[in-house]
Amino acid sequence: GAVVSQHPSRVICKSGTSVKIECRSLDFQATTMFWYRQFPKQSLMLMATSNEGSKATYEQGVEKDKFLINHASLTLSTLTVTSAHPEDSSFYICSPLEGVQETQYFGPGTRLLVL
């Protein structure tokens, strides 16, 4: 199956710092990238959708200036949590959509803990 990597797998940072999460599709091109957030014992919540080379579309309630998404290439997308606060602590999962087969894959997730 397709391989999706996320880096880092877990990160601990101080409140007020920024954290960048990378998502790579290693053996296919992702025309669309979805970013999800999952709080403990809750379901995945879609944060934003981005198409390569375009600005991301954010879901209601998700601050675009806080969660910066860059989808500069068909194999790499980044999510930057700017000025992170403890309430941003969560599990962030990227999900690239492979355009030819229209198959959605998921990354392993990044556990963010903001102290």
Partner 1 sequence: AQSVSQHNHHVILSEAASLELGCNYSYGGTVNLFWYVQYPGQHLQLLLKYFSGDPLVKGIKGFEAEFIKSKFSFNLRKPSVQWSDTAEYFCAVNAEGGYQKVTFGTGTKLQVIP
Which residues here bind partner 1, judged by CB under 8 A? 1, 4, 32, 34, 41-46, 49, 59, 93, 95, 97, 102-109
Q: Is 87 helix (H, G, I), strand (E, B) or coil?
A: helix
Our CA dihedral for 72, 69, 30, 7, rounded to 10 degrees, sits at 100
- Note whether 10 and 111 are within 8 A (CB): yes
CB of 14 to partner 1, least distance (A): 28
Return d(Cα 106, Cα 81) in angstroms, integer. Answer: 19
CB of 16 to partner 1, least distance (A): 31
CB of 72 to partner 1, least distance (A): 21
Q: Which of 88, 85, 91, 71 is nearest to 23 (CA)?
A: 71
Considering only CA atoms, give the Rg of the chain: 13
CB of 106 to partner 1, least distance (A): 4
